[in-house]
Every structure is written in C-alpha cells, then in structure tokens.
Chain A
Amino acid sequence: MTRALIVLLMAALMLGAATGEVRAQDLQSVLQTQADAVASPSRRSVDAVIAALDASDLPQVPEFLEHWRDKEVWQRKADGLFFYVTGAGPYILIDVDTGAEAGTAEKADLDNIKPNAGVRGVISTALVKFQLLDPDMAKRLAAVDSIARDPGPDLLEPLRQAIEEEPDPALKDRKVRLARLLAARFDPDPVARAEAIRSLSGDLSVDARAVLSQILATRTTVADVLPEGTNVVAVLKPGRDISVNDAYAQLADAGLAQPTVTTQALKDGLIAHIADGQVGGVPVADLNTDAARIRAYQALADQGVVPPFVPDEARRAAVEAHVFYTAYTETDPNLTAAAEEAQAALATRLAVNQGADLALDALSLASIYFLAAIGLAITFGVMGVINMAHGEFIMMGAYTGYVVQQFVPNYTVSILIALPLAFAVTFGAGVAMERLVIRHLYKRPLETLLATFGISIALQQLAKNIFGTQARPLTSPAWLDGALTFNDVVSISYIRIAIFVLALIFLGLILFILKRTRLGLEVRAVTQNPGMAASMGINPDRINMLTFGLGSGIAGIAGVAIGLYAKVTSEMGADYIVQSFMTVVVGGVGNVWGTLAGATMIGVLQKGIEVLNPSNTLAAQTYMILFIILFIQFRPKGIVALKGRAAGD
C-alpha cells in the first residue's frame, strides 16, 4: 500500500515537472504517470495511456507498444519501473528509453504485464497509427499491408491522417486507395461513404470488387409481412421466382411451418414402427415401391404416431400467407444504390480488361504452339517428311538446357549457352537421322511415319533411362521471373513475353532464310522439283540434309523455351507432336505464314473456348480438335493454301 502511495507521489511530482518541458520527458516517466493503467490495463483505462503516449511524441513509443502488446514488458516490484527483459535465469533488464542494459533481476522480483486480448487489439490499432508514420519505409509498408489484410473501422482515421505526411509517392498512392476502400466500408458519414463507394467504379482491383460485393451481399428470407426499413432487392413470387416446394422448405427452415416428410424421414418413420413384419397394416416385404411405402406411412400418420404428410393445398396456402424476399444486408438504400451503380460501371471495364487479358493469354499460347510447330513447318511443310520424332527433338533441346545448367550455375549465361548448343545438338541429330533413315524413304512418306515413330519411342526411352522419369527443372534467369502487370486483371509473365519474342525472331529468321538466302532458294527449288534442281547444279542430297537439320535445330531451341515454361520430362515432346501437326495442317502445308495463322487460330480458339468453361481445359482442347476436324473438311488445304503447281498433290 505504501509502495503504491510512493509511486503515486512520484508520478504526481513528475507530472508536475513534465508540464513545463514536454519534449525533454523520457518514456519511463510518462509510463510512471499512468503506472497502474500500464501494469494492469483494461478496455477503459488503456485509452488514457495511449493518449498520454501519443501526446509525449517520443520515438520510443512504437517499440514500447509492440512489446506491451506482445506481453514482453515487465515491472520491477521494488520501484514500479518498467523494463524489457532478455536472458534466462537472472533476467537482464533493458531500459525502455535507451535500450541499454540496466542490471539484472530474479524472476520473483518482476511482474510480467499481460494485457488481455481486447486491450491488445486496441494497442495494435494504436500501433498502426505510429507505424504509418514511421520513418522506416519498410515499417510503413508493413503497416499498410496489415491494414489491407485486416481492415477495421478504427483504422480509417489514422490512415487518413497518415496520407498527408507520406513522402513516398507510390506508398502515398496506396494509402489513398486503401483509405478509399476503408471509407467505402466504414465511413461513419453516409454521404461520404456513398461518395467513396462511387469512386470505386474506377478501381479494377480485387479488393475494390470484394468491397462492392460485400456491400451488395444479399440474403433471401421469409416473413409474415415485409418488415419496415428493409433494403429490399426483390420480392419473390412463389411459383414464378421460386418454386412452391423451395418456398415451403424455407418456411419450414424458418420455423414458420411444419416440415414436409422427406423420403428419409418417411423411411425412418416406417422402420421405427415395424411390428410383426408389418407396418401400418402393410407387410414389410411389400414395401419395395414408393406407392406402398406412402400407403403404410399414411396409415401410421392416421394413427398419429408419425408426423402427417402436409397436403399440397396446405403448403400452397402457407406459402401464399407469407412474403418471400431478397434483401441487402446493408440497410441504407442510398449506399446499395451507389454500390450497384459502381459495380455496373466496373463490370464494363472489367469485361474490356478481361478481354485484353484473354487476348494476351491467347497470343502467348499461340506463340508456344508456333514455336513447337515452326521446325515441323520446315520438315513436314516444306520437305513433306512426316517426322514423328520432332517432339523428341524438342525434348532433346530442353534436356540440353538442363544439362548446361548443371555445369553453368549462372542462369542467364547458361540460357545463352544452351540456346545455340541445343540448336547444334538437334541439328546434328536431325542430319544424322536424315542421312541414315529418311533419305531412303523419300518415295514412301507413310513409311517415314513408322520409321520416325520408332526413333521417337527409342529416344523417349533413352531419355528416361538417362534422366529418370521425374521432371527436371529448367530454371529461368531471375530477370524473367515475375509478370508485367497492367492492373489486377491484365497481366502477363515475362517468360511468356520472352517466348513470344523468340517466336517472332524465328518467324523473321525463317522467312529470311527461305526467301532471301541462297540456301532458301535452293531449298525451294529442291522441294518443287528435285530433278530439275539437280540439273541446275544444286545437290539435292546436301540441301535435304541441311533443311532437315535446320528444322530439327529449331525444334531444339523451341525445346529450351518450352522447358523454361513447363517442366522437362521425357514425354514432353509427345505432348506437342499431335498439336504441332495439326497446327501445320490447319495453317496450310508448305508455308511459314500458314503455320503462324494455324498457331494463332488454335491458340485463340482454345483460350476462347476455355472462357466458356474455365474449370475445364480438357473440354476446351476436345472441342478445339473437333473444330479443327470440321475445319479441315471445308478447307482441306489449310488456311493459307498454296495454289498452282507449287501445291503439287
């Protein structure tokens, strides 16, 4: 008792001393002025402490609040001073002002201060206010994040006050947006709140949409008469907006009517009253039809041992006697009207942006298909060789990338090495295959299919034997991580942009080689008429070899790109081979532009179908293939069909 008196006296003295020179105060003395409230804070007393701390304007305050909230403040029993504590056994005391060590103490000499959950919540809110103005940018960011994660009405004011003094423009922007979201949900002034809600119509973020749908949350209920002051969306007419059965079920759920007898209840009722192999006069063995069961149940109901059926007329009458309606949970009609308005405006913008996002997705998918198919456009499209091992060349390229990464740890360098190396490896493999196998089969295209299929399964199994069955990672350089984000709806990952750029480069490169170089001229000559080309001094063997090597090499590079985007497995090639052939055939054989058109069409189509049924990409692929089958019926030569003699047959 005496100790408390001394403390009070000291506090009074200090308070007197402090009034003169506020800035010179230290935290300990401020705490001592409210020592009891600090030591055993309650919901009522905590506000005064926080107000005092707030007024002191000391930089140590946020740290103290954090420790206070986290139950890390201790009071020395001897003199009532507050300390933080470290160490075990004899505790080392830490001064709350300087952070310096201030002697040791036994556990018995200290009281641990443990604010209850409600008080801790108040402290947290107060803490946020300090953190929002903390000189440390990371702290401010964390505070904003914490508000965004866990918004509450108390945080609106501190947040608003923290906007003006924010030096960082980006963070200030975030604070403004967050304040708007909080205002839309919690502003006590309905006019200001409606204004905040309306301003959300320009905000595409998920948070803003969530706030709007939260304000517009509805519930469907039933009552005898429509209650006063309900913010009604619609009154449901039974039989038109809601089926009589559903309406009656709702009535029963609300306890306003007797529940109907469900199939299960009927069955339970019958089972409970089986006596001497009979229920309600009907033998149990006959109860294998619904009609018999109803008859037996009716008999039981007539005896009054089970709840009776509710006749249709009674149900209809009960439903008619009540009003069914959907109402907003928000009671102010002005606010819901504003939210409806904002949501409608947002819907249009959202649709446009979703369309843009979809277009980006489709474009990126198309570029992947294009990359996978472009090598095939040369070997199959230009040369007419059905190379079923094309997919395995893609796989070989991807594994080359993986192996390079095992030796070169720097991802940027390793990708730069892997791209030409993958080309070299698959070029070599392609040339070898052309020399050893395909050369002998130019006159028998369908048998090329079989031979290359043999090579395909052999290569696949070899890869499995060497690298195992589990997927291998091909890691992209750090600068390809992340995504280019326009807003919360439209974004595209950098890797997809890189693949798109790569596809464009290849399109240019191949067009250049085929149309502008000597090799391209000779390739076109040999594919159109090998005999005539040979008589002009072109060596068709050499040209065929180089062309096939080129197509295979490009598959290798595509493999590196696809490996970055998907996982590297021995089966990855097989996933692309059928798609690639379809891409080439749909686009039009013998034409690089055709392959581009084919890839674009397939990519756009697949993404477009996915929109109709987003949960099911398999269905999208199925319908896309069906569409392609039909498309080829009507344009057997593909989108870009060769005309005249070049078309051959």
Chain B
Amino acid sequence: MTGPFLRRNPSVLWVLLALALFTVGVTVLSEGFGIGVLSTSFVKTLGKTLCLCLIAVAMDVVWGYCGILSLGHVAFFGIGGYAVGMWLMYARTEEIVVQSLAGAPLPPTPQEVVDGIGTQIFGVVGSSQFPWIWTFAGSLPLQLLMVLLVPGLLALVFGWLAFRSRVTGVYLSILTQAMTLALSLYLFQNDSGLRGNNGLSGLQNIPGLDAVPQSVISIGFLWASALALGLGYLLFAWVVSGKMGSVIRAIRDNEARVRFLGYPVEGYKLFVFTLTAIVAGIAGALYYPQAGIINPAEIAPIASIYLAVWVAIGGRGRLYGAVIGAATVTLLSSWFTGGGAPDIDLGFYRINWTDWWLVLLGLGFVAVTLFAPQGIGGLVDKLVRKP
C-alpha cells in the first residue's frame, strides 16, 4: 500500500520532512528548550500558522479537489476553538474559585464551587447560571469529543440539506457564508451562553500547568500543531489519491457526468465536506489556546474568504499549495502589520505599512488571480517538471 501511495504523492514525503525539520529547528532556536533566538510570542505565531495551514489544506480538499467553495469552514474552525475554550476556561476558573474559597470558614459544597465558577465566567454578561451548552465543560475528554462532533454534525446536516437540493457553485458559497454570518451573529448575543462579544479569554493558561512557563507550553503546542498538520496532510493525501480522489476531482470538473455514470455524487460531497469540517474543528481547537482568546468577530464571513484566498494564492488542487499559501500570507501579514517592514519615504508621503499592507494584499489577490491562476504552487510545479 505504502509504495504506490507515496509514489502517487511524492510531495507528501517532502512536506513531512520539511515540517519535521521546521519543528525541530524552531525548538532548538526557542526560549523554552533551545538557545532563545526566537521569542515565545513568535513561536506562538508559528504554531498558529501551522494550524492555519491545516485548515487551508482542508479548504483545498473541499474547494480545490471537490469544487465546493465553502465559506463556512471558518465557522467550524471557530466551533472547535469554542469547544476547547469552554473546558480551558471552566477548569482554570475552577482552580481559581477553589483556591479563593479555601480560606472561607466553611469548606465549600460542590454547588457553591459551581456557582462561584458561574459568577466568575458569566458575570461579564450579567448572569451566573450555566447554560446547557456548558453541560460537559468540566470534562476534557467530552469537550474534545465535542471538537469533533459539533462541527462534524453541523457540516453533515448543513451539507445534506444543501447538496440534496443541488445547491451548487456561487449559491453554495453564499449559503455557507450565510451560515457563518448566522453563527457569528448568534454568538454575539449576550444570552447565547458563550459570553457574547467578550468571547472566551485566558485560554493560554492551561489548567494544572501553572508552574510551566509559557515558553515551554508554546513549544508543546507547536509540536501538537505540527503533528496535527502532518497527520492531516497524510489523511487528505490519501483521500485525494486513488479511486476516491479521481471521483472527487471528477465531481469538480463535471458533476452531472459523474452522476450519470452512477456515482452517488451527494455522498462523496457530503463525505468531503464533513471530513474537512472536522479537521477544521481540530485546527481551531489547537489554534485558540495559542491565541489566548476567541470571540465571535473571529467567525466573520470575511475570514472565510481570506481562507479561500490563501488557498488560491498557494495554488488550488495541490495540498502543498495550501500550506505554502497560508504560511506565506499569514507570516507576511504579521511581518507587515507588526511593524517589521521598514516604512518607505516617498518625499511627499511616507508609506506606513501598518496602514498600507491591506491595500498591497488586496492588489496582490487581484494580481495572483489575473496573472498566476495556478498560484505559487503552479510555479513550483513548473520548476519540478521542467528538468
């Protein structure tokens, strides 16, 4: 099995090798384990970038291979983040509450502890009761299960409804965008049970690991993200190769013909849509503990389009293209907006990149779409195939 699979996907080995080298390299240069050249916040940025690469790969499968331009995967990403964030926040607040009640004259009853956590978490939205969605928040395994289940089920139901009534192309894009918007608006409400626009915060503090410095935790998450990206890459490389991969690509190129050949098109699409949604959820669950905070603004419809643009810039229809696109754009973004790029003095006007980066990025999208429809990955292909 391994032989033909790897021969069909020569990029897999290269990507995994590069990923391993990158992770080890960052660890050696980090503050936590190595010589301290890279700051902890930069290690976190790199870890977050790996998570974004993972969701970009998922996006590439659903769009580049299956032709479904979903603008809803950011919603799944956010749900994953919320699911893990609920446990992080609950467990962390529980530690704080138990600590503060330890000095009380009477030992607290379990109900008093729960009430204390509720007041701590929901005081900001004027409540102290736990809504039903927090039922499993106290248990890490159940909440991790939610990371998989909630995006998966939502994608399954939504996809079943949409594919069944043959909503395709642009309409499906707008429909998924509407789903993202609806979720974001719902979460913005104070009575959504997820703290409205305050979101969940303090997620970088891992319960039970108070003594461990952030520099070490950040390396842990970097490894976890790299592992998830590596496994996700392998999984998707397997999905898009072989017979199933051919059918999926055929659906992208001519859906009607595949249906006439007797393939259950809806089933394939639903499988791809749901599987990528689950992976997006996992990516979110790894991303937000590194970001430290999640709020509904993260699930804006515009974020979904950014995701599509990364894939387009990297080159659709190649898994490594998605990785290249996501990494390039997010790292460039943080370099430009973080003040890394030097200002350009035109004499009459000074170009300050924190203000002008988005203009450059926007025009970059246009240029890539017009002049390099295959993206950066297309250039790589040319280089590789020429000799």
B370 touches A386 (CB 8 A): no
A585 touches B174 (CB 8 A): yes
With beta carbons under 8 angstroms apart, the residue of B109, B165, B182, B373 that contacts A633 is B165
A388 touches B305 (CB 8 A): yes
Using an 8 Å CB-CB cutoff, how does the interface string of A610-649 with B read, 1 for contact, 0 for none?
A: 0000001011011001101110111010000000000000
What residues on A are CB-neighbors of B165 within 8 Å? 632-634, 636
Instruction: Let me know if B341 is at the binding interface, CB within 8 A.
Output: no
B358 touches A460 (CB 8 A): yes
What residues on A are CB-neighbors of B188 within 8 Å? 618
B361 touches A454 (CB 8 A): yes
Instruction: Let me know if B169 is at the binding interface, CB within 8 A.
Output: yes
A451 touches B182 (CB 8 A): no
- A132 vs B64: C-alpha distance when bound (angstroms): 80
Q: Which of A580-632 contact B (CB under 8 A)?
A: 581-582, 585, 616, 618-619, 621-622, 625-626, 628-630, 632
Instruction: Let me know if A310 is at the binding interface, CB within 8 A.
Output: no
Instruction: Let me know if B39 is at the binding interface, CB within 8 A.
Output: no
Instruction: Let me know if A236 is at the binding interface, CB within 8 A.
Output: no
A271 touches B106 (CB 8 A): yes
B69, B185, B188, B356: residue with the most chain A Cβ atoms closer than 10 Å: B185
A437 touches B366 (CB 8 A): yes
Instruction: Let me know if B167 is at the binding interface, CB within 8 A.
Output: yes
B369 touches A454 (CB 8 A): yes
B69 touches A449 (CB 8 A): yes
Using an 8 Å CB-CB cutoff, how does the interface string of A431-461 with B read, 1 for contact, 0 for none?
A: 0000001001100111101110111111111
B106 touches A458 (CB 8 A): no
- A287 vs B188: C-alpha distance when bound (angstroms): 41
- A188 vs B175: C-alpha distance when bound (angstroms): 66
Closest chain A residue to B177, Cβ basis: A578
- A535 vs B370: C-alpha distance when bound (angstroms): 28
Instruction: Let me know if B66 is at the binding interface, CB within 8 A.
Output: no
Instruction: Let me know if A219 is at the binding interface, CB within 8 A.
Output: no
Number of A interface residues at 8 Å Cβ cutoff, please give it: 55
A457 touches B107 (CB 8 A): no
Q: Which one of A254-262, A288-296, A503-511 contacts B?
A: A288-296
A285, A437, A625, A626: residue with the most chain B Cβ atoms closer than 10 Å: A625
B309 touches A453 (CB 8 A): yes
Is chain A's binding surface mostly helix, strand, loop or mixed? helix
A451 touches B169 (CB 8 A): no
- A632 vs B174: C-alpha distance when bound (angstroms): 11
With beta carbons under 8 angstroms apart, the residue of A284, A453, A632 that contacts B106 is A284
- A450 vs B367: C-alpha distance when bound (angstroms): 11
B359 touches A461 (CB 8 A): yes
B359 touches A293 (CB 8 A): no
Instruction: Let me know if B308 is at the binding interface, CB within 8 A.
Output: yes
> Given A446-B169, A636-B165 in contact, is the A625-B366 Cβ separation under 8 Å?
no
Instruction: Let me know if A462 is at the binding interface, CB within 8 A.
Output: yes
B109 touches A289 (CB 8 A): yes
Shortest CB distance A238–B (Å): 27
What residues on A are CB-neighbors of B363 within 8 Å? 454, 458
Closest chain B residue to A621, Cβ basis: B185
B358 touches A457 (CB 8 A): yes
List 7 tightest A-B contacts by C-beta distance, closest first.
A454-B365, A458-B362, A461-B358, A625-B182, A288-B107, A451-B369, A454-B362
Which positions in B face A, CB cutoff 8 Å?
Answer: 69, 105-111, 158, 161-162, 164-167, 169-171, 173-175, 177-179, 181-182, 185-186, 188-189, 191, 301-302, 305, 308-309, 312, 355-359, 361-366, 369-370, 373
Which positions in A face B, CB cutoff 8 Å?
Answer: 267, 270-271, 274, 284-290, 293, 386, 388, 437, 440-441, 444-447, 449-451, 453-462, 464-465, 574, 578, 581-582, 585, 616, 618-619, 621-622, 625-626, 628-630, 632-634, 636
Besides A453-B305, A630-B161, 9 new A-B residue pairs in contact (Cβ under 8 A), listed by A number: A388-B305, A456-B362, A457-B362, A458-B359, A460-B358, A461-B362, A625-B178, A629-B182, A636-B167
